[in-house]
Structure 1
Amino acid sequence: MKKRVLIDFAEIKNEELLLYAAEPVAIGEMKPVGQILVDSDQLSFIYLAEQDGDYTYITIPESVWTSVKTALDSNFEAYAVHGEGRLHLQGFKEEMDYVVENIKGNSNYGEKMVDRVEAVF
């Protein structure tokens, strides 16, 4: 079964995008996969991480997209954070840039997702 980690808060600090996990999770034990998926139904991006041979979905909801956009524009590195644990989301900018461009004007992602992505990014 895939684990899900919901990001509920984001901030930019010391030229880094920090994405804070809502629930307790061992972020520091995960390994970045460097791939982003789209969950149009939940209006979220999903960064893939790996732990114990299985994927963990780090869910980045619309509520934090403004911070993500600022970080992308400034070429800041992104990290998932919980407590003292940090996971460098390798390839985050490149993947987000690719996914966002693919969503714009693409009805395959659903009208609501396209509208929200175009409004923020």
Structure 2
Amino acid sequence: MRKLWEVKEKEWKAGNLYLQLETSPSLQNVKAGERMLAHSDELSFIYILEQDDEFIYLALPSSIWADLKMVMSDHSKVLLKGSEGVLELASFEMELEYLIQNIEGNSNYGDEMVKEVEKVFL
């Protein structure tokens, strides 16, 4: 089973990017999955989180992609705010870089997704 959480706000603090959902979720037993996917229909990236025997898809909409590009250039940490603290999204930069390389010029992701990724990241 899986859940979908969508990033609604972002904030730069002390050189790191903090992501927040509409409400602050409990991050109890949530672990960084260290994997990313593309959701072409929604023009978003998905960072996989794990909680017990479930997956949580953390949607990163195109509205924050400029910040994600800064993460890559500055080698910043990405952290998810929760109700009782924060969770570092481990391997974020490496996974994002790999995904962008796969999307570049690859029409399997859809023309609009390729165009947006290339516009922001390349």
TM-score when scaled to structure 1?
A: 0.93
Q: Quote the offset at 1:28 in angstroms.
A: 4.8
Distance, in Å, in 2 between the alignment partners of 1:60 and 1:28 is 21
Distance, in Å, in 1 between the alignment partners of 2:100 and 2:4 is 22
1:5 alignment counterpart: 5
1:75 alignment counterpart: 75
Distance, in Å, in 2 between the alignment partners of 1:69 and 1:11 is 14
1:26 alignment counterpart: 26
Query: Moved runs in structure 1, 4+ residues, more than 6 A?
Result: none
Superposed, 1:1-121 pairs within 5 Å as: 1-121=1-121
Check conservation: 2:40, 2:109, Cα contact below 8 A: yes
SS of equivalent to 1:5: strand
Q: How many residues align?
A: 121
Distance, in Å, in 2 between the alignment partners of 1:89 and 1:28 is 15
Percent same amino acid among aligned pairs? 36
Q: Quote the offset at 1:107 in angstroms.
A: 0.4
Question: Which ranges of structure 2 fall in alignment gaps of 5 or more residues?
Answer: none
Q: Aligned-residue CA RMSD in angstroms?
A: 1.2
Distance, in Å, in 2 between the alignment partners of 1:44 and 1:27 is 22
Distance, in Å, in 1 between the alignment partners of 2:118 and 2:72 is 15
